[in-house]
Amino acid sequence: MEEVEMDYKKTILIVDDEKMILNLLSRNLTKEGYNVLEAQDGLEAVEIAQEKKPDLILLDVMLPKLDGLTVCKRIKNMMNIPILMVTAKDEELDKIVGLELGADDYITKPFSIRELLARVKANLRRADVISNIEKEKKTSKEEGTTELKRTNVIKVGVLTLDLDRFEVMINDKIVDLTLREFEVLKFLASDPGQVITRETLLEKVWGYEYYGDIRTVDVTVRRIREKIEKDTSNPKILITKRGVGYYIAT
């Protein structure tokens, strides 16, 4: 029994220069059963990430010694750890740049602990799913077996989404998306041909607290296109309806 619990005890690295916030997050994450590591500046965060390899990082943007955006870039260049950026309400540009640098998600201060824990769980779950997929593939290859066809999928033209595995394929080639990118693509692909406004995407995918932060949608769509389109200047899968929103071509 003890061994099973250890298998599921994930480690979260919290990076924030405010001791009060560190204590609050550490206490709540520990109560949820996570191991917690703490860093109060950017350089320390990079060192701990390299040494301890946590399962997820909660990363504040405003940090001494090395800012959060630089930390995000450095860590993502070294390892594929889910990073959840923490930004202040007036740091809209930081959110967008964070997404550009490969952050998996972001949450805006002030935030509720319940919302933060939900984000942590969602990103850890996706990371687990991806890890299990890789193990299954390795096992299948070693044993010379083929994987069973899955039924919980959305297929539109060359685009296939496996909803159980958070897996996206273009012409049967797997594309690596962040959780937020996957959710945007899933929402659009669920109703192919239907134009979805940016406001609707903000409300349904990001949640009401992000309403009005339109550029976040545009940045996320651009990142998705870079991964699924052959020519981003002439997209064939994820299409823009100028002045309205986006849709998946049928």
pLDDT tens-digit readout, 62-94: 999 999 999 999 999 998 889 998 887 656 667
Position 17, amino acid: D
**Please, which pLDDT band fits residue 213 given cuts at 50, 70 and 90?**
low
- In angstroms, how far is CA 212 from the centroid of its own chain? 21
**Which two three-digit tokens encode residue 226?**
């870079």
Domain 149-248 sits in CATH at: 1.10.10.10
Beta bridge partners of 248: 238
CA–CA separation, 173 vs 22, rounded Å?
A: 41
Enumerate the CATH 1.10.10.10 domain ranges in the chain, comma separated: 149-248
For tokens 């099973």, the residue is: 4
What's the pLDDT tens digit per position in 45-67?
A: 999 999 999 999 999 999 999 99
- Six-digit token string for 168: 């996206």
How many whole angstroms separate alpha carbon 206 and alpha carbon 79?
Answer: 26
pLDDT at position 241 over 90? yes
Do residues 119 and 107 touch, judged by C-beta distance below 8 A? yes
pTM of the predicted protein model = 0.71
Which pLDDT score is estimated for 147?
Answer: 52
- Whether 104 and 83 have beta carbons less than 8 Å apart is answered as yes
- Contact (CB, 8 A) for 31 and 9: no
C-alpha–C-alpha distance, residues 187 and 208, integer Å: 16
Cα–Cα dist 146/211, whole Å: 44
User: Is residue 181 scored above 70 in pLDDT?
Assistant: yes
User: CATH assignment of 2-123?
Assistant: 3.40.50.2300
35-44, 145-154, 168-177 — most confident range: 35-44
The whole-number pLDDT of residue 177 equals 86
pLDDT above 60 for 195: yes
Mean pLDDT, range 31-38, rounded to an integer: 96
Mean pLDDT value across residues 20-33: 95
166 close to 154: Cβ distance less than 8 angstroms: no
CATH 3.40.50.2300 domain locations along the chain: 2-123
